[in-house]
A and B are shown apart, each in its own frame.
Chain A
């Protein structure tokens, strides 16, 4: 297959040729007509005679392989939709997925959409607090889980009054009884020839993804069925996916990359997707590329830097000649990682920028466009994006001047609101632009260069973690009087969580206490939120009104000037 680096593109020409309408037409949706993501991603291929094409190659940690064709997916999603309907679940009900990367996660996702319900993916490593806050906020009706995670679901159940049913996918392999309100479901035993997909419209809610902010609980970004136009077109133009590609997206569907480009995008394109349900190891990753002849690979800077740590020898031990295109997302891709990719694979990693709220890639290095190592690239051709002044919202045109990354609404995959929190949603707009919350500058060629977050949110391993959530969880620890969480720069994960903790009377700093605090946050929230470093302090810097001054701690950590501290409470 042709490597994307052997061609060149004219960016201005692409801007006039690529419009969202192209996606609508190619997907066969009439203007103003109905659609359903599951129908477009699965049934459409079967009806077009591509039912025997392999859609999903799944490999578990023991190396067992399972293959599903598009016809299999159609029958299985029909089964899911009928089963959920039989439980009384209706369109627009929120149904959570709380699963490891098993086939039921990917296929169940589409089954929920086929029914017309709203799918709420939850990262399977979430602890009880993280699980509870999201399910309570969305008023979830049902949750699909596995025995391994059932204990956590049971422990939050009483605190989620809306939750009527817990669906367990692997009960057959387990002798222990289920309790009231829990039902077993065996996906493979429930294949159904027909199920009329719910007639959604572009504005019908589809996926509810929670994301962290500086303050308050995580916010649910509500997406709609029409988002598929953006996910299809960006998969085609940015990921360069074709229906004969073997594509591997390493993201977990608990996060937006894992659904927009780990489920919807590749299946909308009719590609074969590889899923590896195993922990990270360099050898295993290279084996995956070699064994499945992966052609297009979408991964994250943290993963690339972990591969870099193991050097070039493991790369050389495996055949990666099938690879023709590589992309990256989650955090800025540092120039060293781009250069290493060239040396290791003879290809560029193409950085892409977007977020939960945008639903699809916004700023990117397109195939055939010269990659400037360290740059985020240019706006996706169907979009208008700018760097704007933080006060006026006016675009900044002078090269090198830092402002906020802004996208001109609307676009098909834009979130339509934050669930239960429209005030915060409307606060995301300035002067007619959607403000992403990241700072960047432009160069003379119109390339975007990332400078940092505009808030206190921590980006660790490509995932956003809210400091407020961590501080709230820390307060539940018996030894913690007050705390502040910041992102500390890290060579692999971009940032890791560092917390400053003031102890209650009667507690003294110790290695045991440090470990106890780390594990407390890991279990309550998730491993991503676990502090990798703890500093014991007498008090946490705050304003006189009690707001935690995280910027002071961050500046101290980085050895930078502390700035204006006139509002700091010095008592």
Chain B
């Protein structure tokens, strides 16, 4: 899951010219560093919902929950376990 989400973020949210320069790992801040903004969070949420066949309520899609891949994985796992 980690690799897949990291790959998606690299492909979709980081400029192609910069992708080799930005050190992105599961603990890199995404929202607070501006890699993903609050509007773009919606497309990231949609990707996660589609990929893992889950539904993330809007109130759980907070900047804190989406700030790192680690926190995203925790969020996704909670919803996968509920299925």
Residues of A within 8 A of B (CB): 61, 100, 125, 147-152, 154, 174, 176, 277-281, 283-284, 306, 309-310, 460-461, 511-512, 514-515, 518-519, 522-523, 527-528, 530, 532
Considering the complex, give the chain B residue whose CB is closest to the CB of A521.
B43
CA distance A546 to B12 in the complex (A): 34
- CB proximity of A523 to chain B, nearest CB, Å: 8
A-B contacts, 30 listed (Cβ < 8 Å):
A61-B33, A61-B34, A125-B37, A147-B21, A148-B15, A150-B17, A277-B34, A278-B32, A278-B33, A279-B31, A279-B63, A280-B31, A280-B38, A281-B31, A281-B63, A281-B64, A281-B67, A309-B59, A511-B50, A512-B50, A514-B46, A515-B43, A515-B50, A519-B12, A522-B39, A527-B39, A527-B40, A530-B42, A530-B43, A532-B39
Cβ 8 A contact of A522, one of B21, B31, B40, B67: B40
| Additional 19 contacts, C-beta under 8 A, given A152-B15, A281-B64, A528-B39 | A148-B15, A154-B17, A174-B21, A176-B21, A278-B32, A279-B37, A280-B63, A281-B63, A281-B67, A512-B50, A515-B43, A515-B46, A518-B43, A522-B39, A522-B40, A527-B37, A527-B40, A530-B39, A530-B43
Shortest CB-to-CB span from B21 to chain A, Å, is 7
Total count of chain B residues near the partner, CB < 8 A: 26
Contact of A149 among B15, B32, B39 (CB under 8 A): B15
Assess whether B3 is interfacial by the CB under 8 Å rule: no
Contacts of B15 in A (CB 8 A): 148-149, 151-152
Q: Write out the residue numbers on chain A whose beta carbons fall within 8 Å of the beta carbon of B59.
A: 309
Residues of B within 8 A of A512 (CB): 50
The smallest C-beta distance from A560 to any residue of chain B, in angstroms, reads 24
On chain A, the residues within 8 Å of B39 by CB distance are 460-461, 522, 527-528, 530, 532
B1-60 interface (Cβ within 8 A of A) = 12, 15-18, 21, 29, 31-34, 36-40, 42-43, 46-47, 50, 59
Chain A residues with CB under 8 Å of B12's CB are 519, 523
Do A515 and B47 have beta carbons less than 8 Å apart? yes
Chain B nearest CB: distance from A465 CB in Å? 11
Asked if A530 and B33 sit within 8 Å, CB to CB, the answer is no
A279 touches B32 (CB 8 A): yes
- State in angstroms the CA–CA spacing of A100 and B15 once bound together: 14
The 8 A-B pairs at the shortest CB distance, nearest first, are namely A151-B17, A527-B39, A279-B31, A151-B15, A527-B40, A511-B50, A518-B43, A279-B32
| Least CB separation from A284: chain B residue | B32
Candidate in A149, A277, A279, A522 with the most chain B CB atoms within 10 angstroms: A279
- Which of these, A61, A527, A528, contacts B29 with CB under 8 Å? A61
Closest to B15 in A: A151
What residues on A are CB-neighbors of B21 within 8 Å?
Answer: 147, 174, 176
Hey, which chain B residues are within 8 Å of A279, CB to CB? 31-34, 36-38, 63
> Which B residues have a C-beta under 8 Å from some C-beta of A?
12, 15-18, 21, 29, 31-34, 36-40, 42-43, 46-47, 50, 59, 62-64, 67
Taken together as a complex, chains A and B put the C-alpha atoms of A249 and B43 apart, in Å, by: 28
Chain B, Cβ-Cβ closest to A283: B64
Please measure, in the bound complex, the distance between the C-alpha atom of A362 and the C-alpha atom of B49, giving whole angstroms: 44
Q: B37 contacts which chain A residues (CB < 8 A)?
A: 125, 279, 527
Q: Which residues of A contact B47 (CB under 8 A)?
A: 515
The CA of A519 and the CA of B46, in the complex, are separated in Å by 11
Residues of B within 8 A of A280 (CB): 31, 38, 63
Chain A residues near B46: list those with CB within 8 A.
511, 514-515, 518
B33 to A, closest residue via Cβ = A61
- B16 CB contact (under 8 Å) in A151, A461, A519: A151
| A148 and B33 alpha carbons, distance in the complex (Å) | 12
Q: Please report the C-alpha to C-alpha distance between residue A518 and residue B39 in the assembled complex, in whole angstroms.
A: 11
- In the complex the two chains form, is A532's CB within 8 Å of B18's CB? no
A61 to B35, CA, bound (A): 11
- B38 pairs with A532, CB closer than 8 A: no
Contacts of A284 in B (CB 8 A): 32
Known: A151-B16, A528-B39, A530-B39. A100 touches B34 (CB 8 A): yes
Q: For A281, list chain B residues within 8 Å (CB).
A: 31-32, 63-64, 67
- Give the complex CA separation of A61 and B34 in angstroms: 8
Question: From B43, which residue of chain A is reached at the shortest CB distance?
Answer: A518
Cβ-defined contact, B17 with A522, below 8 A: no
Which residue on A lies nearest to B11, using beta carbons?
A: A519
- Complex CA distance for A528 and B38, rounded to whole angstroms: 9
- Chain A residue with the shortest CB-CB distance to B29: A61
- Cβ contacts under 8 Å, B40 to chain A: 522, 527, 530
- Expressed in whole angstroms, the Cα–Cα distance for A278 and B38 within the complex equals 11
The interface residues of chain A lying within 8 Å CB-to-CB of B62 are 309-310
Distance of B67 from chain A, by nearest CB (Å)? 8
Contacts of A283 in B (CB 8 A): 64
A358 CB → nearest B CB, Å: 25
User: In the assembly, what is the distance between CA of A148 and CA of B16, in Å?
Assistant: 10
User: In the bound complex, what is the Cα–Cα distance between A344 and B18 (angstroms)?
Assistant: 41
In contact, B63 and A278 (Cβ under 8 angstroms): no
- Using CB atoms, name the residue of chain A closest to B40: A527
Determine the chain A residues whose CB is within 8 A of the CB of B33 once the complex forms. 61, 278-279
Q: How far is the CA of A532 from the CA of B16 in the complex (A)?
A: 24
B45 to chain A minimum Cβ distance, whole angstroms, is 10
Bound CA–CA A460/B63 (angstroms): 18
Complex alpha-carbon distance, A522 and B43, angstroms: 9
Cβ contact within 8 Å between A532 and B42:
yes
